[in-house]
């Protein structure tokens, strides 16, 4: 692994940017992956796709960045750039996309990611972090941010007055509340944990905590385990939508009648394209949207994973890689 790691930290292409990693968020997908819950993990895995840091080197043809710039890398580091999805700035739906970790580069080498000191990525997959956003709190935007921003926009839930439900108040869910509020939506947190009510309303700005039947235009479902859909469908108005971003390993049961009654929609959404990711980060900068984080040292990572599995985090762990990673 040492040899491959070394290779992945060298500038190999003209359009590559090397960054010194300072912070990396811990996404529940990291946990699914290290535990092989999706049954697609190939070890060794070096997780982390909410990566932020500072540019230390640029390839000869890099145009967007220079040494010293504050940047981030999200869930992807490559795609084919020729298919219909790529041509429409939807690299995230490219059939040949390359994930930041647990994936293969086109040369067959493995990708390793953010729980690490350095990283190299093509400039198309590198994002600029606005000066007013603290780097540690900006990290979760790279996955949790775009994963919730993109479906709110695509499914038309970004209009003032829309009644938006957010299911699961974890890393993704709490950012969904912040973006939906910034779009002017009326936001309801749907949670099975009554103790989360006070914070959801007072700290995150949600308008209410539990929704009444037939009242919501859309629900962003961020839950990491399989939950029943029927009670959720009953919360929707006619034409309401449930957008699944949570990625449980087990399938969900889908009775059809509650869909037919009211022309309701269940859809999925995966991160977002590179153009939209930069747009989301700039929007967060403009509206001062920062995730709520608990900054932790590298040697706390296993405890953090255990706490994340229990839902014991408010609301995102961020590894202080720059100050606490002791390179071997």
Ligand X SMILES: NC(=O)c1ccc[n+]([C@@H]2O[C@H](COP(=O)([O-])OP(=O)(O)OC[C@H]3O[C@@H](n4cnc5c(N)ncnc54)[C@H](O)[C@@H]3O)[C@@H](O)[C@H]2O)c1
Q: Does 78 bind ligand X (CB under 6 A)?
A: no
Closer residue to ligand X, CB minimum distance, 169 or 321: 169
Binding stretches for Zn ion (CB under 5 A): 27, 29, 79-80, 83, 86, 94, 143
By beta-carbon proximity to Zn ion, the closer residue of 79 and 296 is 79
Beta bridge partners of 167: 190, 221
Q: Is residue 96 classed as helix, strand or coil in its secondary structure?
A: coil
Decide: is 29 part of the binding site for ligand X (CB under 6 A).
yes
Residue 119 near residue 271 (C-beta atoms within 8 A): no
Q: Provide the minimum distance between the beta carbon of 74 and ligand X in the complex, in angstroms, as a whole number.
A: 10
Residue 103 binds to ligand X (criterion: CB under 6 A) = no
3 state DSSP class of 103: coil
CB 48 within 8 Å of CB 72 = no
| Residue 114 contacts ligand X per CB under 6 A | no
Q: Measured from the CB of residue 319, what is the shortest distance to Zn ion in angstroms?
A: 14
Q: Which range touches ligand X (CB under 6 A), out of 65-73, 124-132, 219-227, 280-288?
A: 219-227
Residue 169 interacting with ligand X (CB under 6 A): yes
For residues 62 and 75, which CB has a smaller minimum distance to ligand X in the complex?
Answer: 75
To ligand X, the closest distance from the beta carbon of 248 in angstroms equals: 6
Choosing from 227, 265, 295, 305, the residue that interacts with ligand X (CB under 6 A) is 227
Dist CA 182 CA 206 (whole Å):
11
Q: Residue 178 has which token pair?
A: 């912040």
266 binds ligand X per the rule CB under 6 A: no
Nearest residue to ligand X, by Cβ distance, number only: 170
Cβ–Cβ < 8 Å for 300, 275: no
Specify the residue, 80 or 227, whose C-beta has the smaller distance to Zn ion.
80
Which residues fall within 8 angstroms of residue 73, CB to CB, at 6 or more apart?
19, 49, 51, 100, 113, 114, 119, 121, 125, 126, 127, 142
Which residue among 122, 222, 277, 290 contacts ligand X (CB under 6 A)?
Answer: 222
Asked if 76 contacts 121 with a C-beta cutoff of 8 angstroms, the reply is no
3-state helix, strand, coil in the chain (%, to 5): 30, 25, 45
Beta strands in 59-108 (DSSP E): 70-73, 76-78, 98-99
Q: What is the nearest approach in angstroms of ligand X to the Cβ of residue 44?
A: 20
Give the one residue of 53, 74, 246, 273 binding ligand X; rule: CB under 6 A.
246
Question: Residues in the chain, how many?
Answer: 328
Q: Applying CB under 6 A, which of residues 171, 218, 273, 322 lies at the interface with ligand X?
A: 171
Min separation Cβ 307 and ligand X, Å: 10
* Burial (CB count <10 Å: 0-12, 13-18, 19+), residue 247: middle
Pairing of strands 76-78, 186-190: unpaired
Measured from the CB of residue 249, what is the shortest distance to ligand X in angstroms?
8
Residues binding ligand X (CB under 6 A): 27-29, 32, 143-144, 147, 168-173, 192, 222-225, 227, 245-247, 269-271, 308, 311
């Amino acid at each position: 692994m040492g040899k491959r790691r070394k290779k992945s930290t060298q500038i190999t292409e003209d359009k590559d940017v090397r960054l010194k990693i300072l912070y990396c968020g811990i996404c529940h997908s990291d946990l699914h992956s290290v535990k092989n819950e999706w049954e697609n993990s190939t070890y060794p895995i070096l997780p982390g796709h909410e990566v932020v840091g500072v540019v230390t080197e640029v390839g000869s043809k890099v145009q967007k960045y220079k040494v010293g710039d504050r940047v981030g890398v999200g869930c992807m580091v490559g795609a084919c750039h020729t298919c219909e999805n790529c041509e429409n700035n939807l690299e995230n739906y490219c059939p040949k996309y390359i994930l930041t970790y647990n994936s293969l580069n086109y040369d067959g080498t493995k990708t390793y990611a953010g729980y690490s000191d350095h990283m190299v990525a093509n400039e198309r997959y590198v994002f600029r972090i606005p000066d007013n956003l603290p780097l540690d709190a900006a990290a979760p935007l790279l996955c949790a941010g775009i994963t919730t921003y993109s479906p709110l926009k695509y499914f038309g839930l970004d209009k003032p007055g829309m009644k938006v439900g957010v299911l699961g108040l974890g890393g993704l869910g709490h950012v969904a509340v912040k973006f939906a509020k910034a779009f002017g939506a009326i936001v309801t947190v749907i949670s099975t944990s009554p103790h989360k009510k006070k914070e959801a309303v007072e700290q995150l700005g949600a308008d209410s905590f539990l929704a009444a039947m037939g009242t919501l235009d859309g629900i962003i479902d961020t839950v990491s385990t399989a939950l029943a859909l029927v009670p959720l469908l009953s919360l929707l108005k006619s034409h309401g939508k449930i957008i699944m971003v949570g990625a449980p390993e087990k399938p969900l049961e889908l009775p059809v009648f509650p869909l037919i009654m009211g022309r309701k929609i269940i859809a999925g959404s995966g991160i977002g394209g590179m153009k939209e990711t930069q747009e989301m980060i700039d929007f967060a900068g403009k509206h001062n949207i920062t995730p709520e984080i608990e900054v932790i040292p590298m040697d706390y990572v296993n405890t953090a994973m255990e706490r994340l599995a229990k839902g014991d985090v408010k609301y995102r762990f961020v590894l202080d890689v720059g100050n606490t990673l002791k390179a071997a």
